[in-house]
Structure 1
Amino acid sequence: MAATLWRFGSDGRGVLGRSLYQIKVRGLAGKTEYDLLVIGGGSGGLACAKEATKFGKKVGVLDFVDSTPKGTKWGLGGTCVNVGCIPKKLMHQAALLGGSLKDAQYYGWNVSYPVQHDWSKMAKAVQRYVKSLNWGHRVQLEDRNVKYHNIKGSFVDAHTVQGLTKAGKEIKIMAENIVIATGGRPKYPTNIAGAVEYGITSDDIFWLKESPGKTLVVGASYVSLECAGFLTGIGLDTTVMVRSIPLRGFDQQMAALVTDHMISHRTRFLWKCTPTKVEKLENNQLQVTWKNIENGAEEIDTFDTVMWAIGRAPSIKSLNLENVGVKVNAETGKIIVDSFEATSVPNIYAIGDITEGRPELTPTAIAAGKLLAQHLFGHATEPMDYDGVPTTVFTPLEYGCVGLAEEEAARRYGEDNIEVYHAHYKPLEFTVADKDATQCYMKMICKREGKQEILGLHFVGPNAGEVIQGFALGIKCGATYAQLLKTVGIHPTCAEEVTKVHITKRSGLDPTVTGC
């Protein structure tokens, strides 16, 4: 009865049913230790925990990081802080600075060549900053009276989690509500000899004390291309091995521009290839054997580092979700949730990368975590809105987007019912140094009829994230192409080109921007 009421409560969230369920469980189990227990100390989990304290609730956080096969481990803050967005963007910046040094001579700066990059110095600076963020998260939890448990938890029942302390002592923690926010970890291939023994992942690359040297990056995800991009940018011999297509899930015209730019800037690509074996040689180099999918030819090369970037898997195996009946998608391994982040068990919720059908992005996890706390303890009634979420791939030439890819827009509305405005442009900063701007391009996808509502915006060029963030608000508010044309651009900027775009793909006219 309780579960039925929870699913079909009069307010759309089942508050009445959930309350009856909790009263029943409390009667059996006694007083709970926390009003809210969050399992996972990443961005989403921490945001949820801190938000809950604003309502005077007693909150606990469990977080434990399993070492990688290479022994890499880190502190509180999750993937973004430790092995994702933050160190990635800083190393991306290091690579951009290298490019700026080359351009500087054209602007009158005397720069001595060759310029040498010091990996160790960069890594120490980045790691020092990451550790400061780890400490900052600890302080914030303490300031908000959130109890932090550095233990690996697993479910005993719907309200009880158990785990082992560092001293090996087993403890049990009870909570009225539990939020799972354990995130994901990179996948290793399971059918390639030497993959685990000799390879690393993005969980390791940012914590290397010495340069990875000549590197093979396997995969064509944004993680792969971002890492390969900054490795090339700081002067390392870098190869990307691609089995199928780059940046799956993104607009493929834009993905091609990203990889074309990387190729023109010395990143090597092995297309339609899959590795079959990794062996360690006497000189400690790694010999990789791979096969060309199209012609079956086998090739071999040696590298100092092999990095796997073939996707991520949700970190839920140790949670014993089957003990409590939390439903998981058997194919993806992700937790099935409703529009209010509720799982199949009334008092258990899930947010972030481990949830089925959600974007694997830090800002969405943070927003979902805060909103969940407001649903549970405040007066929020609206579900999290996952539509129109902007994002950026921090490749050497950045790719930012919001809304639908052209392929998806055509699928949803039909090719004859969309209009694609586009432009090739040259950033002013590229002119004096005479840099190639072939891949600097943007396109806007609109409904063809009526007010021409903007369905998607895609931008490849410098500072793409900064460009897209502002336009994302307008698109979120239902901006139309007519309104865009009334928007005055800031001159001279790259973002200005978005406000001037007027050539359609349908017209067949040259979309190259000429003059002001």
Structure 2
Amino acid sequence: MSLFKLLRISGPSRFSARSAAYVGKAKYDYDLVVLGGGSAGLACAKEAVDSGARVLCFDYVKPTPAGTRWGLGGTCVNVGCIPKKLMHQASLLGEAVHEAVAYGWNVNDQNIKPDWKKLVKSVQNHIKSVNWVTRVDLRDKKVEYVNSMGAFVDPHTIEYSVKGGGPKQQVTSEYIVVAVGGRPRYPPILGATEFGITSDDIFSYEEEPGRTLVVGAGYVGLECACFLKGLGYDPTVMVRSIVLRGFDRQMSDLLEAMMSERGVHFLHTTIPSSVERQGDGRLLVKYRNTTTEQEDSDIFDTVLWAIGRKGLIEDLNLPAAGVQTKNDKIVVDGTEATNVPHIFAVGDIIHGRPELTPVAILSGRLLARRLFAGSKQLMDYADVATTVFTPLEYSCVGMSEEMAIQTHGQDNIEVFHGYYKPTEFFIPQKSVRQCYLKAVAEITGDQKILGLHYIGPVAGEVIQGFAAALKSGLTVKTLLNTVGIHPTTAEEFTRLSITKRSGRDPTPSSCCS
């Protein structure tokens, strides 16, 4: 008999003191077992407990090939959104210090450079504090937690190992939610895992990255390349096909142009062939241009793989539960249910859904409310806003221009667009060539807006509010009747009067034009 069964038989029932919103079936040890202690799993577990469910959460982090591991909280807290945003901020602060001279600050910018080890330590100290707060929060909310990897024995039974060895333990649950997320992929080439690192490693990397090859041009690759450049290192981005696949093409091209202008190098239509450690410790990377078939090589201090992520299904023993998968992800329906009715999946592990932390959190909460609180509300995966945290950030919500054309037809959409000049860019004479925004809308009636796109300062902060408006049926008429806050860059959305169809120049003559 497991320790949890003994505690539940001999100890006082905390369930009786909680809300009676849900009454589980006594034949199971738990009402809900959650596999995965990341954003989705924790949100689901805590929401379920608030409704009176008996909940157990498993979480275990396998070390990366480079030996990196982390605590409770999942990708976002440990190796994703949080450390990425902190590194991004560190990069922007360095840029701001140099700009301060133009604003009259007496700064000796010739000697300003970051201390990589101090930055990494500061970032990791914050992450560890979040890990601790997360553990305390689970304890306070009475979510039972086991630092172990759980795997299916049958559709209602999970098996796990205990610390210190000994026989494996088993628990049963009425419902099971899989929320194990994903991890970065490595290319199947010589030296990839031995000498390369990923975003799972860079935020705790002890050595200065130096000259870095970033392989992959999705948002993770571009963000890493940009904060490395901003911190004074020399990144090169290797692009297999296109930059930011799946995003609006015009905005992606503008983002690449911005990065090139700031000194980030690009190797287009190129794939790596091998990575070898040289006698001096540096890395020789051989690669091939897939267009010209020309082979070449170069020397780097660090190779960072950013070629996508895979779902962590290999250790779950899903066949024992009969759960259907596709391309290392779990297939679910509109209620997050798998083909096994009482087994669900949320977060990055599910197939064909946005891999974003806020999506994971909300879908986990809504699932718990449906299971234990009588809710009928489903997760709406449409029109989810997102941001690429590059020096000029790119944020968007809704359809890309290409998607709108494909869905509605070229003649049925109107694109309002414009370049703009952030007021704060003028004194330090920062480039405004890529500060651009557009609204993709229907062409008839009040012109319902299908998508909003913005490149510029604090893009995520700008688009967040517009995302709520778009989900509420925002139209061009309403947008243009909204009074802007002057002088802000978000105000530019309320002044979009030039369409691509008109052929007029979308470049303003002044900050108030």
TM-score bracket, shorter-length normalisation: over 0.9
Residue 316 of structure 2 corresponds to: 319
Confirm or deny that 1:35 pairs with 2:31.
yes
Deviation of the 1:380 alpha carbon: 1.0
1:208-249 per-position Cα deviation (integer Å, ceiling 9, x unaligned): 122111110000110000000000000001110001001111
1:164 is matched with: 161
CA distance in 2, matches of 1:275, 1:227: 18
Aligned to 2:234: 237
Structure 1, residues 422-460: CA drift from partner, whole Å, max 9, x if none?
A: 000111110011111100100000000112000000000
SS of equivalent residue, structure 1 residue 101? helix
Matched, 1:115 2:109: no
Measure the CA separation in 1 of the matches of 2:126 and 2:509. 43
Aligned to 2:453: 458
TM value normalised by structure 1: 0.93
For residues 47-446 of structure 1, the aligned pairs below 5 Å read 47-112=43-108, 113-169=110-166, 170-190=168-188, 192-329=189-326, 332-446=327-441
CA displacement at 1:397 relative to structure 2: 1.1
Separation (CA, whole Å) in 1 of partners of 2:27 and 2:142 = 19
In structure 1, how many angstroms separate the alpha carbons of the residues matched to 2:303 and 2:313? 26
Mapped partners of 1:258, 1:114: distance in 2:
29
Separation in structure 1 between the aligned mates of residue 149 and residue 129 of structure 2, nearest angstrom: 23
Structure 1 vs Structure 2 CA RMSD: 1.2
- Give 1:250 shift: 0.5
Task: Name the aligned partner's letter for residue 32 of structure 1.
Answer: Y
By how many angstroms is 1:31 displaced? Answer: 2.4
Question: Shift in Å at residue 111 of structure 1?
Answer: 1.3
Which residue of the partner structure matches residue 14 of structure 1? none
> Could you tell me how far apart the structure 1 residues matched to 2:243 and 2:441 are?
25
**Which deviates the most, 293-302 or 406-415?**
293-302
* CA distance in structure 2 between the aligned counterparts of 1:55 and 1:279, rounded to whole angstroms: 55
Shift of 1:114: 3.1
Instruction: Tell me the residue number matched to 2:474.
Output: 479
- CA-CA distance at 1:346 after TM superposition: 1.5
Distance 1:55 1:117 in 2: 48
Please say if residues 283 and 301 of structure 2, whose CA atoms lie closer than 8 Å, have aligned partners that are also in contact.
Answer: yes
- Give the residue type in structure 1 aligned to 2:372: F
- Provide the secondary structure at the position in 2 that maps to 1:436: coil
Please report the TM-score for the alignment, with normalisation by the length of structure 2: 0.94
Instruction: Specify the SS of the correspondent of 2:396.
Output: strand
Native 8 Å contact 2:52 2:372 kept in 1: no
Q: Distance in 1 between matches of 2:218 and 2:52?
A: 42
SS of 1:489's equivalent in the other structure is coil
User: What amino acid sits opposite 2:420 in the alignment?
Assistant: Y
**Residues 214 and 303 of structure 2 are in contact (CA less than 8 Å); yes or no, is this contact kept in structure 1?**
yes
Equivalent residues in 2 for 1:485-500 (5 A)? 485-500=480-495
Higher mean C-alpha deviation, range 60-69 or range 110-119: 110-119
Secondary structure of the structure 1 residue equivalent to 2:150: strand
The alignment partner of 1:88 has SS state of helix
Match of 1:508 among 492, 503, 506: 503
Task: Give the secondary structure class of the aligned counterpart of 1:317.
Answer: coil
CA distance in 2, matches of 1:274, 1:372: 41
Measured in 2, the distance between the counterparts of 1:248 and 1:277 equals 24
Q: 1:58-102: per-residue Cα shift (whole Å, max 9, x none)?
A: 111000000000100000000000000000000000000111011
Paired residue type of 1:99:
E
Determine the structure 1 residue equivalent to 2:462: 467
Q: Counterpart of 2:89 in structure 1: which amino acid?
A: Q
**Following the alignment from structure 2 to structure 1, what is the Cα–Cα distance between the partners of residues 137 and 305?**
34
Cα distance in 2 between the residues matched to 1:119 and 1:31: 54
Q: What residue in structure 1 maps to residue 6 of structure 2? A: none
User: Which structure 1 segments of 5+ residues have no match?
Assistant: 1-22
Looking at structure 1, the residues matched to 314 and 508 of structure 2 have their Cα atoms a distance apart, in angstroms, of 53
> Deviation of residue 57 (structure 1)?
1.2
CA distance in 1, matches of 2:160, 2:390: 40
Report runs of 4+ in structure 1 exceeding 6 Å deviation: none
C-alpha distance in 2, partners of 1:324/1:317?
Answer: 13
Residues in 1 aligned to 2:494 and 2:275: alpha-carbon distance in whole angstroms? 50
